[in-house]
Homo-oligomer: A and B are copies of this chain.
Amino acid sequence: MTLAQDPTALKALHEELSQQLKQQTANRLSLDLTRGKPSAEQLSLSNALEDQIRGDFKSRDGVDTRNYGGIRGLSEARELGAELLGVDAAQVIAFGNSSLALMHLAATTALNKGLWGNERRWHNSPGVKMLTPVPGYDRHFSLCEQLGIEMVCVPMLDTGPDMAVAANLAAADPSIKGIWCVPKYSNPTGCIYSDATVASMAELPSKAAADDFVVFWDNAYAVHDLVQPPATLASLAEAATAAGNDDHILQFASTSKITFAGAGLSFIAASDLVLKQLEQQIGFSTIGPDKVNQLRHARFLDGRLQAHMAAHAELLRPKFDLVQQSLKEGLAGWDIATWTVPKGGYFVSLDTQDNMASAVIAKAKAAGLALTAAGATYPYGADPNDCNVRIAPTFASLDELHAAMQVFLLCLKLTALEKRLAI
């Protein structure tokens, strides 16, 4: 059964698939593949966080974690961040439950005060822009929008952002001040930046026309591997040191998809000079992070991070496998979409033929299946080819995911048929 068939057969097929979708809709579905949320089973892997204190609130260094203070966080929490990011604990600030908040802080500091304790700050430029590899993470984009940072797109390749394009753009325009990266299991494509990409990224601040260019390295999925042995990511920190750009990279991580999504820890790593500026800025809006939660986390994950992530992978692998199998079987012979086969992270990125994604997503919504809004993986919600659909299979149960994929496939095929038949 292919799309090369004659119109009459295509119409019959459309009728058949429409009937199937109607049956699904009659089931009053409420399916959701929108956001990269851990499932309840995954969250339960960390329930023992609640058993870590046992009356002992003192950190290893003797800090009473219940009281105020300590902007940089507990030593043991900083070590956890260092483990995630592959840097020295001295370069890490361990903070609250949101790495997005740290990115927000870093961007506002770069804009208003500068990261280097001197006169360099982004707001000295008449307009401020950042490079955004696309498709990418919608919350990076909305943060830019809120702060009035114009976004300039760079195509994503299987090896990460197209670094030739990024370098040319940055070299040509001094108002381009930085780039957003999700270097491992990128959101949404799942690609891993190649060694060459990491090396080029570390050199990018030297190539940029701006002298205050910053790489925002959001390593959200640093240890979120689905298969063994896990993929490796070259060290941006080491490459940046070699390139003399230590002061121009900011690395982020969190435990949001390791322990509790809403009640974890976040981390930022930077050079001594930059950490000092960030610490000062943090101090204007808080007296310190929640150190009790840092202590819970450090104790809970001490020496067992790898095993813990393997347990996540056990729960996630069947879901990613189901998505792959559904797409492969369901779309065999159709030639209407391509998709990624990630080895970790939280998403499958699917590209339809041009000008179909928003119609597919609208059709799915009508059938009771919520998908990430069309265009969400592009700045300003503007997917130029209207083709990208981000599938987030982690939160749903296997049964729900199976039902969701069937609905999705029907919507995708029906949209393709309607396009072909011009109905």
Measured CB to CB, the residues of A under 8 A from B are: 35, 37-38, 40, 43, 46-47, 50, 53-55, 57, 64-70, 96-98, 100-101, 103-105, 139, 142-143, 146, 256, 260-263, 281, 284-293
Chain B residues with CB under 8 Å of A291's CB are 262-263
If A67-B262, A262-B68 touch, whether A47 touches B55 (CB-CB below 8 Å) is: yes
Contact of A43 among B66, B105, B260, B284 (CB under 8 A): B66
If A69-B262, A96-B290, A97-B290 touch, whether A284 touches B142 (CB-CB below 8 Å) is: yes
Contact of A64 among B35, B43, B64, B286 (CB under 8 A): B43
Chain B residues with CB under 8 Å of A98's CB are 285-287
- Taking a contact as CB atoms under 8 Å apart, the answer to whether A290 and B290 are in contact is yes
- Taking a contact as CB atoms under 8 Å apart, the answer to whether A289 and B142 are in contact is no
Bound-complex Cα distance A56 to B35 (A): 24
Q: A189 CB to closest chain B CB, in angstroms?
A: 21
Chain B residues with CB under 8 Å of A139's CB are 287
The DSSP consensus for interface residues of chain A is: loop
If A146-B281, A285-B98, A287-B98 touch, whether A37 touches B67 (CB-CB below 8 Å) is: yes
Bound-complex Cα distance A188 to B46 (A): 43
Q: A366 CB to closest chain B CB, in angstroms?
A: 24
Chain B residues with CB under 8 Å of A142's CB are 284
- Taking a contact as CB atoms under 8 Å apart, the answer to whether B284 and A262 are in contact is no
Contact of A290 among B37, B67, B68, B262 (CB under 8 A): B262
Q: A255 CB to closest chain B CB, in angstroms?
A: 12
Bound-complex Cα distance A370 to B311 (A): 50
Bound-complex Cα distance A263 to B256 (A): 18
Bound-complex Cα distance A66 to B67 (A): 24
If A50-B53, A262-B290 touch, whether A284 touches B104 (CB-CB below 8 Å) is: yes
Chain B residues with CB under 8 Å of A69's CB are 262
Residue of B nearest to A46 (CB): B66
If A263-B293, A285-B101 touch, whether A68 touches B143 (CB-CB below 8 Å) is: no
Bound-complex Cα distance A408 to B348 (A): 66
Bound-complex Cα distance A55 to B50 (A): 8
A-B contact pairs, 22 of them (CB 8 A): A43-B57, A43-B64, A47-B57, A65-B263, A66-B261, A67-B262, A96-B97, A96-B290, A98-B285, A98-B286, A101-B286, A104-B284, A104-B285, A105-B285, A146-B281, A261-B287, A262-B289, A262-B291, A263-B290, A263-B292, A290-B290, A290-B293
Chain B residues with CB under 8 Å of A65's CB are 262-263
- Taking a contact as CB atoms under 8 Å apart, the answer to whether A37 and B260 are in contact is no
Chain B residues with CB under 8 Å of A54's CB are 50
Chain B residues with CB under 8 Å of A105's CB are 285
Residue of B nearest to A259 (CB): B66
Chain B residues with CB under 8 Å of A97's CB are 96, 286, 289-290
Chain B residues with CB under 8 Å of A146's CB are 281, 284
Q: A287 CB to closest chain B CB, in angstroms?
A: 7
Chain B residues with CB under 8 Å of A43's CB are 57, 64, 66-67
Bound-complex Cα distance A265 to B218 (A): 27
Chain B residues with CB under 8 Å of A104's CB are 284-285
Residue of B nearest to A99 (CB): B286
Bound-complex Cα distance A65 to B260 (A): 9
Bound-complex Cα distance A43 to B50 (A): 18
- Taking a contact as CB atoms under 8 Å apart, the answer to whether A66 and B263 are in contact is yes
- Taking a contact as CB atoms under 8 Å apart, the answer to whether B262 and A100 are in contact is no
Residue of B nearest to A47 (CB): B55
